[in-house]
A and B are shown apart, each in its own frame.
Chain A
Amino acid sequence: MIGADLKPTESCGCEQVFSAELRERAGEIWEREGFPTTKHEEWRFTSLREIAETKFETELPAVQIDVIDPVAMPEGAVSLVFVDGKFDPDRSNGAGLPDGVVLSSLKYGITEHRDLVEAHIGKVIALDETPFVALNTRMTLDGAFLFVPRGVVIEQPIYIVHIAAEHASPTLTNSRSLFVFESDCQAKVVESSISLGAKNLQNTVAEVVVGDNAVIEHVRLQLGSEEAYHITNMQIAQRRGANFKTTVVTLGGKIVRNDINGLLNGEGTECTMNGLYVGRGEQHVDNHTRLDHAFPHCPSHELFKGVLDDKSSAVFNGKIIVRQIAQKTDSKQSNMNLLLSDDAMINTKPQLEIFADDVRCTHGATIGRLDDEAMFYLQSRGIAKDDARSLLVYAFASDVLDRIGIEVVRDTLEERLLERFHKTP
C-alpha cells in the first residue's frame, strides 16, 4: 500500500533532484492514478494486485553488500552502485574515464553540474507516462547521472547497479537515471536492477538523451530474487543520426513490467530494442515498447524473445508509430516465444500506427514448442535428452545475447543462461 504515507524523509536530499513543486504534482498524480488495474488497456494482462496489496518500507537501515553479481558488474569495472536507492561511493569507481565525462550520483550531479542536469531531468519522460513515473519522481532518493561530452569515445563499458537489499519487510526503492550523450560521442552502459530480497519493488525510471550521431549501446539486466518486483520506465530521445541500442534481459522478478519508449526525433536516427525474458515458476514479464518515428529515414529494429516454463507468463506489446512526416521509415519488429510447458502463457501484440505512406514496417510473432525433429537429431548423435533440450533452449535464447556488443556481458550472461537451462556438455 503506497498512498497517504507517501513522503520520503526530508533528510534524503531528494528535493535537490526535483523541485518541491514538481514532487507535489507527482504525488498528486500517483494519489489520483495509483496502481493500474487490468481494466486499463495497457495493463490488461499484467495484474499488479499482489504488489498493490504489499506494504513496502521506504525508510531503510543501511546495509553492507558484500558481493555484487558479476553479471551486473565485473571486478574492477567503471561503476556506480546504489543500495536501496542510495549511492554507495565505496562500491563505485569512476577511474580512467576521459576528461569531461561526468559519472556521478544525481545528487552530486545537481550540485556540481546543475545546468546539465536541469536541462533534461524530468523533461525527457512525461510525468504521467505511467503512474510509476510519478511515483518515482515523488519518492526518488538519488540515481545515476552520466554525461558524455561531444565527440568523446568511452571504450570501457559503464556499469550502473541498483541493488535492493534484503530487509525484514518488503522494500520500495525508486532509482532514477539520467544519461546525456552529446553529439558524436560513443558509450556503452549496462544498467542492472538486482533484488536480494523477495517482494522488494524496484521502480526505476531512466531518461536518455542521445545527441546527433552519437552511438550508444545500453543493456538492462533484471536479476536476483524470482519473488521480487521490477517496474521500469525508460524514455529515449534521439536526435539526428543518433544510433541507440538497448537490450533488456529479464531473469529475476515475480512481476516485471518494462515500458521502453524511443523517440526518433531527427532524420536518420536508428533505434534497436532487443529483449530476452526467461520465466519459470510463476514469473510474469511484461515488455511494452514504443518506437515513435517522428522524422524521415529512420530505421528501427526490435527482437524480443521469451522462454517460458512452468506456469510463467509474459506479455509483449510493441507499438510502432510512424508520423506523417516520417517517410522512408524502415521498421522491423519480431517477438518469438518458446513455451516449455502446457501452463506457460504469452500474450503478444504488435500495434502499428502509421500515418506516412512511403514506409516499410514489418512485424511478426511466433509461439512454439521445442522442435521434436531437432530433439531427435541431437539425441541420435548421442546427446542425452535433457542436454538436447537445454541446448535447444539455449540456442533459441542466445540469439538475443549474440547481438549485445559488450563481450564480457554477453559471455557472463551466456554462462548464467547455460546454468539456468542446466546444460552439461
Chain B
Amino acid sequence: MALLEIRNLHASVEGNEILRGVNLTVNAGEVHAIMGPNGSGKSTLAQVLAGRDEYEITQGEVLYKGEDLLEMDPEERAAEGVFLAFQYPVQIPGVSNAYFLKAAVNAIRKHHGEPQIDAFDFMKLVKEKQELVEMDSSFLNRAVNDGFSGGEKKRNEIFQMAVLQPTLCVLDETDSGLDIDALKIVANGVNAMRSENRAFVVVTHYQRLLNYIVPDFVHVLVDGRLVRSGGKELAMELEERGYAEFEGAAV
C-alpha cells in the first residue's frame, strides 16, 4: 500500500479552482520533488495535505496509509504522522518554543494513548535535534518564530519535524529566502531523517535545494495539474529551460 495516494484532486478557494486533477502516489522511503512556476498550485497542494480549511475540495480523494486523509482534522493528521513545513511559519508571541513543542509532542502521544513525555527525556530529545539544525540553546526560551530571521524560521520548521518524527513530511518552499549555509543546514536536517519508513514531498520553485536533497522523483505542476514526471535529471532540465514549454500545455 502506498503511503500517500492522491487521486484526481480538485481544490478551490473562493470559487477559483487551483488544483485541477492532481494524481500522485508516494511510497514510504521516497523523496518526491514538486516543482512549478508561481501560482501553479504547489503551496495549495501542500496546505490541502495538512488540512487547511480555506480550500474546498471539489473532487477526488487523498488516501494516507489507506485512510481518507481529507476526513481528518489537521491535528489528527499531525498525530498520524503528516507534517507540513510551512512556507511562511507563523509567529506566536507569548508561547515559547519549548512550551509549544512539548504541547505538540504530548498531544501526539495522547492521541496514541501514551503518557506525557518525561521532562528529562524531552530536554534530551530537544537538545539532540537542536544540534542537527544548529540552533543555539537560547532559542528554546524565545517565542515561536517571534523576531526570528527568515533562515531561523525555516530551520525551526526542520527542527520541529526532527522532534515530531513524522511519517510524511511535506516541505513547502523551505528553501526560499535561504542563504547557502542555511540551505545546507536545512538539507542536512532532512537528509538525516531520510529512512525507508518515511517519505518526503518537497515543494520548491528552484532546483537549487535538490542539489542537497536529492529526490527520487520530480514532478512538474502547472495550472493545477502534474504535467510531467521524471527522475532527478528533470530538475536540471527545468533549471535550464524553465517552465515555458509547459505553460499553456495543461490548459
Please name all residues of chain A whose beta carbon is closer than 8 Å to the beta carbon of B92 when the two chains form the complex.
Answer: 374, 377-378, 392, 395
Contact of B108 with A382 in the complex, beta carbons under 8 Å: yes
- Complex formed: what's the CA distance from A165 to B104 in Å? 43
Contact of A377 with B90 in the complex, beta carbons under 8 Å: yes
Contact of B102 with A382 in the complex, beta carbons under 8 Å: no
Chain A contact patch, size range? 20 to 34
Contact of A394 with B94 in the complex, beta carbons under 8 Å: yes
Contact of A380 with B94 in the complex, beta carbons under 8 Å: no
In this assembly, does B52 line the interface, its C-beta being within 8 Å of a C-beta of chain A?
A: yes
Contact of B94 with A399 in the complex, beta carbons under 8 Å: yes
In this assembly, does B204 line the interface, its C-beta being within 8 Å of a C-beta of chain A?
A: no
- Complex formed: what's the CA distance from A381 to B52 in Å? 12
In this assembly, does A325 line the interface, its C-beta being within 8 Å of a C-beta of chain B?
A: no
Partner of A391, one of B93, B95, B164: B95
Tell me, rounded to whole Å, the shortest Cβ–Cβ distance linking B88 to chain A.
8
Tell me, rounded to whole Å, the shortest Cβ–Cβ distance linking A158 to chain B.
29
Contact of B52 with A384 in the complex, beta carbons under 8 Å: no
Contact of B95 with A395 in the complex, beta carbons under 8 Å: yes
In this assembly, does A421 line the interface, its C-beta being within 8 Å of a C-beta of chain B?
A: no
Tell me, rounded to whole Å, the shortest Cβ–Cβ distance linking B84 to chain A.
5
Contact of B74 with A396 in the complex, beta carbons under 8 Å: no
Interface 1/0 per residue, B84-100 and A, CB below 8 Å = 10100111111100001
- Complex formed: what's the CA distance from A395 to B100 in Å? 11
In this assembly, does B13 line the interface, its C-beta being within 8 Å of a C-beta of chain A?
A: no
Contact of B95 with A371 in the complex, beta carbons under 8 Å: no
Question: Which of A373-392 touch B at CB < 8 Å?
Answer: 373-374, 376-385, 387-388, 391-392
Contacts A376-B52, A425-B106 given; does A381 touch B78 at CB 8 Å: yes
Chain B contact patch, size range? 20 to 34
In this assembly, does B6 line the interface, its C-beta being within 8 Å of a C-beta of chain A?
A: no
Contact of A382 with B94 in the complex, beta carbons under 8 Å: no
Question: Which of B210-233 touch A at CB < 8 Å?
Answer: none
Interface 1/0 per residue, B134-148 and A, CB below 8 Å = 000000000100000
Contacts A376-B74, A377-B86, A425-B102 given; does A383 touch B107 at CB 8 Å: yes
- Complex formed: what's the CA distance from A384 to B94 in Å? 19
Tell me, rounded to whole Å, the shortest Cβ–Cβ distance linking B221 to chain A.
21
Contact of A395 with B107 in the complex, beta carbons under 8 Å: no
Contact of B84 with A380 in the complex, beta carbons under 8 Å: yes
Interface 1/0 per residue, A29-69 and B, CB below 8 Å = 00000000000000000000000000000000000000000
Contacts A376-B52, A396-B94 given; does A382 touch B86 at CB 8 Å: no
Please name all residues of chain B whose beta carbon is closer than 8 Å to the beta carbon of A378 when the two chains form the complex.
Answer: 92, 100, 103-104
Please name all residues of chain A whose beta carbon is closer than 8 Å to the beta carbon of B84 when the two chains form the complex.
Answer: 380
Please name all residues of chain B whose beta carbon is closer than 8 Å to the beta carbon of A372 when the two chains form the complex.
Answer: 54
Contact of A379 with B103 in the complex, beta carbons under 8 Å: no
Residue of A at shortest CB range from B86? A377
Please name all residues of chain B whose beta carbon is closer than 8 Å to the beta carbon of A16 when the two chains form the complex.
Answer: none
In this assembly, does A334 line the interface, its C-beta being within 8 Å of a C-beta of chain B?
A: no
Contact of A379 with B51 in the complex, beta carbons under 8 Å: yes
Please name all residues of chain A whose beta carbon is closer than 8 Å to the beta carbon of B78 when the two chains form the complex.
Answer: 379-382
Please name all residues of chain B whose beta carbon is closer than 8 Å to the beta carbon of A377 when the two chains form the complex.
Answer: 86, 89-90, 92
Please name all residues of chain A whose beta carbon is closer than 8 Å to the beta carbon of B17 when the two chains form the complex.
Answer: none
In this assembly, does B65 line the interface, its C-beta being within 8 Å of a C-beta of chain A?
A: no
Please name all residues of chain A whose beta carbon is closer than 8 Å to the beta carbon of B75 when the two chains form the complex.
Answer: 379-380, 382-385, 388
Contact of A382 with B90 in the complex, beta carbons under 8 Å: no
Please name all residues of chain A whose beta carbon is closer than 8 Å to the beta carbon of B79 when the two chains form the complex.
Answer: 382
Residue of A at shortest CB range from B79? A382
Contact of A384 with B107 in the complex, beta carbons under 8 Å: yes
In this assembly, does A398 line the interface, its C-beta being within 8 Å of a C-beta of chain B?
A: yes
Contact of A381 with B90 in the complex, beta carbons under 8 Å: no
Interface 1/0 per residue, B30-55 and A, CB below 8 Å = 00000000000000000000111110
In this assembly, does B167 line the interface, its C-beta being within 8 Å of a C-beta of chain A?
A: no
- Complex formed: what's the CA distance from A391 to B50 in Å? 20
Please name all residues of chain B whose beta carbon is closer than 8 Å to the beta carbon of A402 when the two chains form the complex.
Answer: 94
Q: List 29 A-B contacts (CB under 8 A).
A: A371-B90, A373-B90, A376-B74, A377-B92, A379-B51, A379-B73, A379-B78, A380-B50, A380-B51, A380-B84, A380-B86, A381-B104, A381-B160, A381-B164, A382-B75, A382-B78, A382-B79, A383-B75, A384-B75, A391-B103, A392-B95, A394-B94, A395-B94, A399-B93, A399-B94, A402-B94, A425-B102, A425-B106, A425-B107
Please report B residues at the A interface, Cβ cutoff 8 Å: 50-54, 73-75, 77-79, 83-84, 86, 89-95, 100, 102-108, 111, 143, 160, 164
